[in-house]
Amino acid sequence: MPGKRVPEPERREQILAATYDVAAEHGLWETTILRVSAAANVSPGLVMFHFETRRQLLLALLDHLLAQTTVLLVDPEVSALPSPSDRLIAVLRREMSRLTSEPMRIRLTFDFWMAGVRDAAIREKLRTEFARYRASFRPLAADVLRAEPERFAGVTPDGLAGVSVSIIKGCAVQSMIDAEHFDVEDHLAAAVGLMQHLGPAPTVG
């Protein structure tokens, strides 16, 4: 008797999950329709039915990856913290811990980043999503600047949001380079120390 028919959305997710596993193990460049179909335990034709081409499959994988990587969620416990700087630091800690706990996801993101050098569609997807992620830090940053204008004289919400994202992404890179010795709390303490002890930028001219 034939097996139970799997709904198309569920089958699509199954194929995407297999694509992620293949890309994480072999790298983006070695992710082929044949490897994905074997990992998903479906025919190559079924993979192509859902995604048509290898390129479309990889673009769908990128969407899937970004949907889980560049989303900022501020939980109620963090929102309840009375100090804006404490809220920002708590979010930094959460994001740094989240990204460094998923080294394969970070490596795959960098694979796509390299592919985006030559592929305009990939480059635009990455640019758009990273810009959205950075913008999601802007309200937190604006609250900090309103609460501590002397410490951050001359700093804009966009500037502080950008630095916050740079700290998180730099943390992810460091954890990928030296996972055995990397410590999130140490990295965060150093970043917070810089923000706390560096005074306003000197006036030039």
87-144 residue pLDDT tens: 999 999 888 888 888 778 888 988 999 999 999 999 999 999 999 999 999 999 999 9
pTM of the model: 0.79
Domain with 179 in it: what CATH number?
1.10.357.10
- How many domains is the chain partitioned into structurally? 2
Residues 38 and 127 in one domain: no
Q: Rounded to whole angstroms, how far apart are CA atoms 184 and 16?
A: 30
Specify whether 186 is located in the same domain as 124.
Answer: yes
DSSP H stretches of helix in 101-137: 103-115, 120-136
Distance CA 24, CA 108 (A): 6
15-33 pLDDT per residue, tens: 999 999 999 889 899 999 9
Same domain assignment for residues 98 and 152: yes
Separation CA 19–CA 63 (nearest Å): 12
Q: Assess whether 90 and 165 both reside in one domain.
A: yes
Q: Which two tokens stand for residue 191?
A: 């970043």
